[in-house]
Homo-oligomer: A and B are copies of this chain.
Amino acid sequence: MQKHMPPSGKGTGTHTDGLSRDAVLNAALALIDRKGVNAFSVRDLARELGVYPTALYWHVPGRNALIAGAVALALRDLTPRRTPPDWQAGVRDLLRRYRQAVRAHPHIAPVLGAQLVSNESMPPELMEHILALLVRAGFEGAPLRHAYNTLIAAMVGFVTLELAPLPDEDADAWADAHRQRMQAIDPARHPLLAREMGRLRQGAFVVRATSGTQAPLDSSFRFWTETVVQGLAAMRAPPSGGT
């Protein structure tokens, strides 16, 4: 019944020969950092560790768990130790820290966006911290849950898109083709798109031909952060009449 249960923390610790769950996950994260999640394979990882592929199954239930564990490592030091009194500063700080953490391991971005729930990558301290910020902002009851969902979506959403991987097989070929496609936009049918093309090419989702890894969207990220902070501030009280 009870498998995948390594030496229990204490014990051994003398020789670095044996694999250990931690060593495996660290190696997995390193490999993902180099090749991306899609190209990440159990067999590659085993090769890297000088071990038969099946040896890994002693420490970890399978490929998915390897990825989830690696992502958890990447988010380990994300949560701040204290909740700042100013909730708006706290939100800004949270978004900034999350972005920093993912930027250190850009290839995990797709997993965070798409499989957030299915792994235990998200530390409970982070969720507690988010709730604390929102309680300080004055949310309670049902709206607290909605604000919680909103803040998590805000934290993950922008960064997932910003760091989304471009096709890395024939990277240059794709980039050229994409640039042409964008330059070929018909100004008659899409006037605004054509007019703003110059600016959008600098760094706009879908239009850009580079990933956020190479060309960070710093000022758009700040804009995003302010939008969220202002929006949450406005949502604290029930909408005051009007249209």
List A residues at the B interface (Cβ < 8 Å).
Answer: 64, 109-110, 113-118, 120, 122, 124-125, 127-128, 131-132, 135, 141-150, 152-154, 156-158, 160-161, 164-167, 174, 181, 185, 189-193, 196, 199-200, 202-208, 211, 217, 219-220, 222-224, 226-235, 239
A sample of 19 inter-chain contacts (CB < 8 A) reads A109-B114, A114-B114, A117-B161, A118-B164, A118-B165, A118-B174, A128-B192, A135-B192, A143-B223, A145-B196, A145-B220, A149-B203, A150-B220, A156-B157, A157-B160, A223-B235, A227-B228, A231-B231, A234-B234
Please state if B128 and A220 are interface contacts (CB–CB under 8 Å): no
- Copies of this subunit: 2
Given A149-B224, A185-B124, is A165 in contact with B115 using a C-beta cutoff of 8 Å?
yes
Please state if A153 and B116 are interface contacts (CB–CB under 8 Å): no
Q: How far is the CB of A220 from chain B (nearest CB, A)?
A: 4
Given A116-B205, A164-B114, A164-B117, is A142 in contact with B190 using a C-beta cutoff of 8 Å?
no
Q: How far is the CB of A243 from chain B (nearest CB, A)?
A: 9
Q: How far is the CB of A80 from chain B (nearest CB, A)?
A: 15
Q: How far is the CB of A114 from chain B (nearest CB, A)?
A: 3
Please state if A192 and B226 are interface contacts (CB–CB under 8 Å): no
Q: How far is the CB of A156 from chain B (nearest CB, A)?
A: 6
Please state if A227 and B220 are interface contacts (CB–CB under 8 Å): no
Across the interface, A115 reaches (CB within 8 A) one of B110, B124, B228, namely B110
Q: How far is the CB of A62 from chain B (nearest CB, A)?
A: 9
Distance A181 CA – B127 CA, assembled complex (angstroms): 14
